[in-house]
Structures are given as C-alpha cells and as structure tokens.
Amino acid sequence: MQSAYDDLAKQRMQQSRALCSEAGPGGLNLGKKISIPKDVMMEELNLQSNRGSRMFQERLKRPLPQASPPLTKVPPTSCGRDISSEISC
C-alpha cells in the first residue's frame, strides 16, 4: 500500500516539474490582476449581456438635470408698513 502511495507522489512530482518547466523563467501570464471589487463591477457593467448593464449604459447616456436656483418672490409688506423700520440690529 505504501509503494502505491509513493508511486502516486512521484508521478505528481513529475507532473508538477513538467508544468514548471513549461512556464519558463518568465512565469505564466495570467492576465490582468483585478484587485478591487469596483474593477469587477465596472467591467461587468460594460458588458451588454445582461439587462442591468444595458440599463446602466442607457442611464449614462441621459443628460444630467441642470440645477437652477429657485425663483424667489419678494414678500409683500404687510398692511403697507415698512418692514425695514421694524428690524432692530
């Protein structure tokens, strides 16, 4: 039983050595490392494969509402009195 285990271990070691030699001195190129969940989210939102990302893209195309200051009315003086004389500093 022990020899079967040893044979299996030797076989796996040979396979791992073969894989390491294929990688060469430069190592394997695994592509871009995505380190932040925001990168993943933005990448998924750029896809056209699901409804949510299509809705997001349409929302980006909409113009932003322009905020304008509210129109203010000058309050009328009550009963014809001058309010400025009632203000005390």
The model's pLDDT over 57-81, given as tens digits with 9 standing for 90+, comes to 898 888 877 777 777 776 666 555 5
Tokens for 37, please give them.
Answer: 């969940």
Amino acid at 57: Q
The model's pLDDT over 15-71, given as tens digits with 9 standing for 90+, comes to 888 877 776 666 667 777 766 788 788 888 888 888 988 998 898 888 877 777 777
Question: According to the model, what pLDDT value does residue 60 have?
Answer: 87
Average pLDDT over residues 7-17: 88
Higher pLDDT, 5 or 14: 14
CA distance 50 to 41: 13
Using CA atoms of 11, 16, 22, 24 in order, give the dihedral in degrees to the nearest 10: -140
